[in-house]
Amino acid sequence: MKIVIVGGGEVGMHLGSVLAKENHDIIIIDKDPRVIARINEQLDVLALEGSGTSSDCMKQAGTHNADIVIAVTNSDEVNLITCMLANRMGAPRTVARISDTQYSKDNSILGPDAFHVDYVLNPELVAAQEIVRLIKRSEATDVLEFAGGKAQLLGIRLEANSPLINRKLKDLVKDHHHITFRAVAISRGLRTIVPSGNDVFKRGDQVFVMAHSDHIPEMLRLAGKQDKSFDKIMVLGGGRIGRNVATLLQKDVSIKLIETNHERSLKLADELSDALIIEGDGTDIDLLATEGIMDMDAFIAVTNDEETNIISCLMAKHLGVMKSIALVDKLDYIPLAGTIGLDVAINKKLSAANLILKFIRKGLVVSVATLHGVDAEVIEMVVQEKSPVTKKKLSELHFPDGALVGCVTHNGSVTIPTGETQIFPDDTVVVFVLPRAIKEVEKFFGAR
């Protein structure tokens, strides 16, 4: 597949990295020569200096032969014009990153249809929705839903008191057979491990477990955690993400939102009738103490300054707040979150890239996600007729190295598989897979 990506920032770089590993023909366009130099240094793709709004540049990129054009610059207007130009040049599918709701609404005069955009992505809304999922599943570092919500992939960090530490996976499964779960990955330091039965859990591991949604509370207790409901939440930063988080949560919990800008604070007070808006500096410990940070269940820092987000979250943890969530821009910071004391670090660009990947792969693939700090993907796909995986039980198959089946949906019923599980055509499977095995996995579940 030939894919033109306009915008070489974090979203464009991540998309280019993932798609290039799958042997797609990738061209990334950016007007900044320093970005072009970085792309040439780090990725095995073609980098082109220029703008997506330039017909000459788009012709040079071969847009007329592209299967899809993805516009993910920081400018909504550039992304929209890029998609319109790509459509007129013959590109069959276009994707635009749009943050301003005046452009993203379907009924807008200048909505997506006016610019021939097939798929619109709002990174700030996606990040806010991810934060809300994490708040509702309080002890998790990651929460992904599959099979229509019947199964969940849960990220759990093992603390010093966790009963899982120094236990072999196969022994845990044997001793707790009443809980239907499957450990699909372990993030240990900067390594990602697809575990076997003999792998031993260590302190500080971030373990990713697939389980029936009904069994999630028991799974958390097994890991030494207790899922609690959050009633009081403080949000630092009243930008698009902070506003979206408060909007999504204000009916269910008590929200205090801190914003430094006077005009924005007044606007937020008008928009968020069920939240308390506080004008002030969120890094001022006296202000936080006055506003009752020590009584908060969670602290969410989503300002435009990632250092402020990290430091304020660490301060909140020091003051006894149960859960802290920090928005970070640099992907390199995410694997380090646990080591410096953060509960969760999220990256809006990574979350956005996951949804774009899902759109690109729709067909055989139902959904795709990349976990924060883990060099792997979680792919939900439909098993094709005559697929090799339907020929034998899982234990009898030579399954691709670096991949693991997390759950199987057959006729609406969800199963967490064992070696005795048989997969049939039209089943939906969720597979945890390292980048080197993605192509082989897709062939394994596709028709031959």
Task: Give the Cα separation of 138 and 160 in Å (integer).
Answer: 18
Tokens 């997969």 identify what position? 423
- Percent of the chain topping pLDDT 70: 93
| pLDDT greater than 80 at residue 338 | no
The pTM is what? Answer: 0.69
Task: For residue 233, give the nearest of 214, 217, 262, 253 by alpha carbon.
Answer: 253
| pLDDT greater than 80 at residue 336 | no
Pairing verdict, β 94-97 and 68-71:
parallel
The residues pairing with 236 across neighbouring beta strands, listed in sequence order, are 258, 301
Task: Give the Cα separation of 140 and 220 in Å (integer).
Answer: 8
Mean pLDDT across 57-77: 94
R_g over Cα of the chain: 23
Give the pLDDT confidence score for residue 368 in this predicted structure: 66
In this prediction, residue 259 has a pLDDT band, given cuts at 50, 70 and 90, of very high
Average pLDDT value over all residues in the chain: 86
- Percent of the chain topping pLDDT 90: 37
In this prediction, residue 59 has a pLDDT band, given cuts at 50, 70 and 90, of very high
Residues of the chain with CATH 3.30.70.1450: 139-222, 376-445
Task: Give the Cα separation of 27 and 3 in Å (integer).
Answer: 6
In this prediction, residue 62 has a pLDDT band, given cuts at 50, 70 and 90, of very high
Give the pLDDT confidence score for residue 221 in this predicted structure: 85
Topology of the domain comprising 376-445: Alpha-Beta Plaits (3.30.70)
Give the pLDDT confidence score for residue 247 in this predicted structure: 93
Inter-axis angle of helices 240-249 and 262-271, nearest 10: 30
Q: Which residue has the higher pLDDT, 333 or 31?
A: 31
Q: How many residues does the chain have?
A: 448
Phi and psi at 291, nearest 5°, equal -85, 5
Residues of the chain with CATH 3.40.50.720: 2-121, 232-350
Task: Give the Cα separation of 368 and 308 in Å (integer).
Answer: 31
Q: Which amino acid is at 383?
A: V
Neighbours of 228 (CB within 10 A): 12
Six-digit token pair at 117? 């955009």
Give the pLDDT confidence score for residue 272 in this predicted structure: 93
Q: Which residue has the higher pLDDT, 182 or 300?
A: 300
Over the chain, what HEC string results?
CEEEEECCCHHHHHHHHHHHHCCCEEEEEECCHHHHHHHHHHCCCEEEECCCCCHHHHHHCCHHHCCEEEECCCCHHHHHHHHHHHHHCCCCCEEEECCCHHHHCCCCCCCHHHHCCCEEECHHHHHHHHHHHHHHCCCCCEEEEEHHHCEEEEEEECCCCCCCCCCEHHHHHHHCCCCCEEEEEEEECCEEECCCCCCECCCCCEEEEEEEHHHHHHHHHHCCCCCCCCCEEEEECCCHHHHHHHHHHCCCCEEEEEECCHHHHHHHHHHCCCEEEEECCCCCHHHHHHCCHHHCCEEEECCCCHHHHHHHHHHHHHCCCCEEEEECCCHHHHHHHHHHCCCEEECHHHHHHHHHHHHHCECCEEEEEECCCCCCEEEEEECCCCCHHHCCEHHHCCCCCCEEEEEEEECCEEECCCCCCECCCCCEEEEEECHHHHHHHHHHHCCC
Neighbours of 430 (CB within 10 A): 28
Six-digit token pair at 93? 């599918």
Q: Which residue has the higher pLDDT, 333 or 87?
A: 87
Give the pLDDT confidence score for residue 106 in this predicted structure: 56
In this prediction, residue 36 has a pLDDT band, given cuts at 50, 70 and 90, of very high
Q: Each residue of 196-233: pLDDT tens digit?
A: 889 999 988 889 898 888 888 888 888 888 767 789 99
Pairing verdict, β 232-236 and 298-301:
parallel
Q: Each residue of 262-307: pLDDT tens digit?
A: 999 999 999 999 999 999 988 888 888 899 999 999 999 999 999 9
Q: Each residue of 341-399: pLDDT tens digit?
A: 788 888 887 777 777 877 776 655 666 666 666 777 888 888 888 888 888 888 888 88
- Domain 232-350: give its CATH superfamily: NAD(P)-binding Rossmann-like Domain (3.40.50.720)
Cβ–Cβ < 8 Å for 6, 80:
no
Give the pLDDT confidence score for residue 364 in this predicted structure: 58
Topology of the domain comprising 2-121: Rossmann fold (3.40.50)
Task: For residue 321, give the nearest of 235, 251, 240 by alpha carbon.
Answer: 235
Domain over 139-222 is classified CATH 3.30.70.1450: yes
